Every structure is written in structure tokens, then in C-alpha cells.
Structure 1
Amino acid sequence: TELNSSTPRSIAFWSRAKKCMKSASSSLHGFMLNDGTVIKDGPKMCEEACKHYEEFFSESEIFRPHPYTDSPDLQWENFDEEIPLCTTEEVIDIVNSRKKKKSIDAHGLSNFTFNFLPLSYWSLLVEIFNHSFSEGTMPDRWKDSRMLLLAKKDPICNPGLTRPISLLDVFLKVNEKLFQTRFMNIVNRRGLLPDTQSGFRPKFRLQTRVLLFFEHISSLMANSSPVGAIFVDFRSAFDQLWFRGCIGKLKRMGIPRKYLIWIENWLMNRRAFIAIKGERSKWFRIRKGGPQGSIFTPLLFITYHSDLTETLNCCLSHHFTDDLAAIMGGGIGLEILLHANSTAD
């Protein structure tokens, strides 16, 4: 706990370091199609982007039977545990803590709207949130999203080289925050996340994990031991989440039934449109992946992959948010270094 707590010196260091880090994304100016054609017209860009992402978010082809969905059910002692209901005070605290940004969702609302809602409205929304927890449902309109695209590198690029950002319904984001707190409590009580996982969880800071990573390498090298490291980047990590497999795996991990019902309804029957240069595409369905702009998606992702360390017993593993670094020393480390050198040659 002490390792992961902030100090004035660490805050000062990382605030200075952040100024030296360049943004990985840039604004999007146009699309270059496969035949070399460049289009900068808003409606045509929306049409091309919609075709790409409608296919990208189509349901994955999974070979069945699969252990996540077709294995015999396990009955845990907490299977019938209810989701704790929320209070008006809890909701107001979450609303007040949110930045009052003016970026709008699919229905033209923003967090800035919260400044003009009377308290009586939040009492009604508390009833909707609690109904969502007790029945595992939510309004269909809450699952609509407005999708913006950022260029990963060049401002004129293929639609496949863009990064989608989902602007979610403002009321769903409050509901997500309420659920995230309750889900994190379940995850912590069951001890599902390994200590090597940093990012997207309180008291496990990413900066501390980076320092421990270098410390492990230094200690191995101090003993004149060959050291090899493998870095894994999950491609489109959040966007590849398999809905049925996620629910099946969480069930086997001991997540209560009411939580599973809520997550399943939150994932299913989502749709989005793409907005570019003031224009918008048609609606399209999202059949895989968690919303990029969601506060709950990262926690769901790291819980879904929390057993990854069980397959890495031969190395020291470090999980940085949705990336992985594995350190191997001695004979295994030497073998990796030799293989890397031969590949480079």
C-alpha cells in the first residue's frame, strides 16, 4: 500500500515527465482509401468510416464448444448476492465530482446539463438506477453512443488507422460509476486481480509498477544473469471483448448472478453512429467490445484477463493497464536473447 501511495516528490516528477510525452493521436483531416483515393468530404468520410466499423464491431467467429460458455456451471456461495442499492447522496456526490464538459452524447446531452437539473430529478433517477440494479435492465437509449475518430498517426489515413472514442449517454455514465464501485468490491473480496496488475484500480499505481519492472531487471543483471523481456500489446484490446465468453468466464470466477445480468444487458443491443466534421453516419450495431469512453470497460477487461499470470509461472510478469511485460532470467532469458538476435539477423 505504501509503495502505491502518492508523495509530493512522485507527483512533481510525473507532472514534469508528462510535459515531455507527446500525444499519440492527432485530429482527422481525411481518409485515404485502398485505391489511393483521398476523400475529405464529411458525408463521404462518415459513410466510409461506418462501413469499416460496422464490420469491425461485427460478432467474432468463435469455435464451439468453448470452455467459457459450454463447460458445466459452477455454483458459488455468493451466486444469489444482490447489487446494493444507491442513495440520492451517493448519486449527487458522483455528479458533483464529474467534470462539466460540453461534449454531447448521441442525444445532444452533456455533463454541463447537470448544472441545470433540480434535485427532484435526481430522486427520480435514483429510482431508475436502483431498478437497473435489481432487474439488470436499463433504458435502450442509454446504450446509444456517438463515436468520434482520432487519427493514430497521420491526419489523412485509412479508416482502419483511426482510434474510435465513444461518447456515452451522460446518465449511463453515472450508472456505470455506481456499478463500478459495487463490482470492484466483489472483485476485491474474491481476490481476483493479481498484485502485478496496475492501472484501472485504486492503490495500484502504474508508475510504481514501472519502477518495479526496472528494479527486477537491475537485480537480475547485477548477478550477471542473462535477462530477456517480452512485451505484449493487446491489439484493439477493449474493442475485441467477446460478450458471451466474458459473461461465461465471470460466472466461473464467482461473480454473482445479478451482476452478470447487469453486465450482459450493458453489453448487448448497443448501437452507435460516427460523427465527422459536423456530419453523422447511419446507426450501426456493436456486437463485440466494450465502450472506449466507459469508466467500467477497463475494470471489466482486466478482470476478464486476470488469470493470465497463471500461464506465466516461468517469469516475472508486470501488467500495465492492458499491456504485459514478462521478464525471464538465467537459461530462459539467454534463450530468448539468442532467438531475438537470430531473428534480427
Structure 2
Amino acid sequence: MSKLFTTVIQNRLYKWCEEKNILPESQAGFRKKRGCEDQMFCLNALIQSRLSRNAKLHVLFVDFKRAFDSVRQEILWEKMNNLGISAKIINILRSLYDNANLIVRCEEGLTKPIPVTMGYFKGKSPLLFSIYISDLENYMEENGASPVNVGKNNKINQLLFADDTCVPADTKIGLQKKINIKQILPRNEP
């Protein structure tokens, strides 16, 4: 029953996020009508635009280790609230996670229940992680990380596919600035 319930909640939350454009345009992971091919196309267009102008391109590929397991839930609830996600939905999700415990089997037997304060349930992780990092692109721009121009009207600061990230920059210094900003993420600061 709880699996069906959480699936209904997730579907409603996903629909709301898409309608309100909560998830960044740069995120293609686990979204309808988007995929890895879209990100590969964008990266290829970026490379081709640089080659045609004989310009340099610096690219960093990041795979956040244990991304879904390492996010502090309290920060997610705060971000969801700041995005305008219904308090009812947040409270339902919070109650599911507040009551989550982990019991470990070891040689001596089973441990006492250990509260789970980080990470998400399997299957619900991608959407919640996408919400969690939805402000990253704005954060990068606010902190001086310039997007890369592709043509006249298109700019790319990052290409996301769930927890895999491609970070392009025009210069080594620009890429280093983006790397410094990305290093903040694992600390789970709001």
C-alpha cells in the first residue's frame, strides 16, 4: 500500500514540477520526452560551435558519488518549501522519512533501529534529487560562473542527467570557478 501511495505522491509532484518549470532545463534525467541523447546532442553542438570558430572549450564531467544517499533531508524539505511545493506534500513525504529506520544484521545479531536522516527511498530518489539541485544553475550564475554560448541565443552552464553532470567553460579559470562552486554541493548547504 505504501508503495502505491508514494508512487501517486511522486507522480503528482513530478507533474507539478513540470507545470511550474521547477526542474532546470539543463536536467534531462528521468524526465518524459528527454534523455541522455538530448544532452549528447547539446554537448556535440557546443563542441561543433567551438571547432567552427577555432575556440577552446574546457569540460568537466562529474558523477556525484552516492548522490541520492548523501543529501540531508531537512535541506530538501526547506528547498521544497522555498519552491512553493504544497506543505501537505512536504509533510506527507517528511512523515514517511521521519519514521524510517535502518536495522543492520551483524554477527552478534540485529542492531537497534537507527533513524535514517540522509538519502531517499529507492525509486523516489531521482525526482527528489532533481528538486534538491534545481537551484544549482542559478547559484552558479550568482557566484560568477558564466555560461557558455552556443550560437546567438543559447547558453549552457551545465548539462545534467540525474546525478551525472557535464560542466563546460570557455576558459580554465571559468572551469575552475565552476569546480569550486560544485564542491559546495556535498556539504548540503541550503
TM-score with structure 1 setting the length = 0.43
Unpaired segments of 5 or more residues in structure 2? 148-155, 177-190
Map residues 224-303 of structure 1 onto 2, 5 A cutoff: 224-274=54-104, 281-282=110-111, 283-291=113-121, 293=122, 295-303=123-131
Contact 1:227 1:334 in 2 (8 A): no
Map residues 1-345 of structure 1 onto 2, 5 A cutoff: 171-274=1-104, 281-282=110-111, 283-291=113-121, 293=122, 295-313=123-141, 314-315=146-147, 316=156, 317-329=158-170, 332-333=171-172
- Aligned mates of 2:79, 2:68 — CA distance in 1: 16
Count of residues in Structure 1 that have an aligned counterpart in Structure 2: 161
SS of the aligned residue for 1:319 comes to: strand
AA of the residue aligned to 1:325: C
Contact 1:192 1:303 in 2 (8 A): yes
1:244 deviates by 1.5
Unpaired segments of 5 or more residues in structure 1? 1-170, 338-345
AA of the residue aligned to 2:139: T
- Aligned mates of 2:96, 2:31 — CA distance in 1: 21
- Aligned mates of 1:288, 1:334 — CA distance in 2: 34
- Aligned mates of 2:78, 2:9 — CA distance in 1: 19
- Aligned mates of 1:187, 1:254 — CA distance in 2: 10
1:172 deviates by 2.2
SS of the aligned residue for 1:198 comes to: coil
- Aligned mates of 1:252, 1:335 — CA distance in 2: 29
The Cα RMSD (Å) is 2.3
AA of the residue aligned to 1:304: Y
- Aligned mates of 1:175, 1:281 — CA distance in 2: 29
AA of the residue aligned to 2:47: I
State the match for 2:183 in structure 1.
none
User: Taking structure 1 as reference, are residues 206 and 298 closer, same or farther at Cα in structure 2, changes over 3 Å only?
Assistant: same
State the match for 2:187 in structure 1.
none
Which structure has the bigger radius of gyration? 1
Name the % identity. 22
1:210 deviates by 2.0
SS of the aligned residue for 2:91 comes to: helix
Contact 1:247 1:264 in 2 (8 A): yes
1:252 deviates by 0.8
Whose RCO is larger (CA < 8 A, sep 6+)? Answer: 2
- Aligned mates of 1:299, 1:256 — CA distance in 2: 16
- CA deviations on 1:70-90 (whole Å, 9 max, x unpaired) are xxxxxxxxxxxxxxxxxxxxx
User: Taking structure 1 as reference, are residues 207 and 262 closer, same or farther at Cα in structure 2, changes over 3 Å only?
Assistant: same
- Aligned mates of 2:72, 2:92 — CA distance in 1: 16
Contact 1:226 1:334 in 2 (8 A): no
1:207 deviates by 2.3
AA of the residue aligned to 1:272: L
- Aligned mates of 1:198, 1:212 — CA distance in 2: 11
User: Taking structure 1 as reference, are residues 180 and 299 closer, same or farther at Cα in structure 2, changes over 3 Å only?
Assistant: same
- CA deviations on 1:49-76 (whole Å, 9 max, x unpaired) are xxxxxxxxxxxxxxxxxxxxxxxxxxxx
